[in-house]
Amino acid sequence: MKKIAIVSSSNFRCQFIYLLLEGESVTLFSNPKHVEEPFYDIIIYAPIHEENINVFPNHKLIVVQEGDMKPSFSGRHVPFEVTNPSNVKRKIWMHINQLHSERANTLTGGIVAIGSSTGGPLSLQTVLKPLPATFDVPIVIAQHMPADFTRVLARRLNQIVGIRVKEAHHLERLEAGTAYVAPGGKQMTIQVSGDKDAVIHINEPEGTDLYHPSINYLFESVALYEWKIVVLLTGMGSDGAGALAKLKQSSQTTIIAESQQTATIFGIPNAAIKTGLVDEVLPNNEIGEWLVGKGGKP
């Protein structure tokens, strides 16, 4: 049975939501500081006034509150409607079932995903060079590049950095210490195999796809990992920024953007920064060391 915490400084709101979850394993809290977050699968937080909504991790949080949420909030929101409890109940359960489904399909362990465009090859080289061959997790890369050029890029990187770098193949299983470059002109995503392994899927782009490979598609697919680090490097446009809200809604995610100081073109990192969801802004010569220092973990 799912363990659910209902948190609100308003006793009325706690009781209101509690009655909508009759039969579930529920604990009520009046103060967010009293909630031992790791013990609960789902936290339903009903703040009033201007209380901080960022006290709980997004990957298990449902916020019940009047009105629209701030644009920077990337989690699950249910409007608080006293006169329409059935609608509140329906939306809460929709999010609970979504969270449960996501958790059932989660891949254990972690991954690093990198997106880049103009100026990317040099920036990728700078980021990957400090990583040891024993790096603990796999790395997946979407570099805007035509077909065949990515094979040359992967071969070149493999010769000058410490970890293994290769162009990715369809249905290839991910291995730690290897960086997989999405083939130019294709779309690459990560999916869960029947035996719960991470498998690369390479597909033809849709006619409406602006980028192939797409950073957005790749980033959205790694949301199924237990934890992940995504890195947005130099490039024109905003590819990748559209996936960040979904990543923040999933389990542990750290988002890094290359700083204007080293980006050949600041478009992609800047678009990510403007979402308000980026955790670190670093020059490319510090990103690899940051990853090594963290052991590939957020």
pTM of the full predicted structure?
0.74
Whether 197 and 186 map to the same domain: the answer is yes
Listed residues 82, 104, 126: the one ending a domain: 104
Tell me the sheet residues that pair with 198.
192
Q: Tally Cβ neighbours within 10 Å of residue 17.
A: 26
Q: Which of 8, 74, 116, 117 is catalytic?
A: 117
Whether 175 and 238 map to the same domain: the answer is yes
170 is catalytic: no
Whether 92 and 60 map to the same domain: the answer is yes
List the domain range (segments joined by +) for residue 190.
107-294
Q: What is the pLDDT along the chain (298 residues), one digit of tens a residue?
A: 678 999 999 999 999 999 999 888 899 999 988 998 888 888 999 988 767 777 787 778 899 988 766 655 667 889 998 899 999 999 999 988 877 766 666 677 899 999 999 999 999 999 999 999 999 999 999 999 999 899 999 999 999 999 999 999 999 999 999 999 999 999 999 988 766 678 899 999 887 878 899 999 999 999 888 889 999 999 999 999 999 988 887 778 999 999 999 999 999 999 999 999 999 999 999 999 999 987 666 6
214 is catalytic: no
Whether 139 and 275 map to the same domain: the answer is yes
Instruction: Give the separation between CA 187 and CA 166, rounded to whole angstroms.
Output: 16
239 is catalytic: yes
Q: Which of 59, 116, 214, 239 is catalytic?
A: 239
Q: Dump strand ranges (E) for 33-106.
A: 42-45, 61-64, 76-78
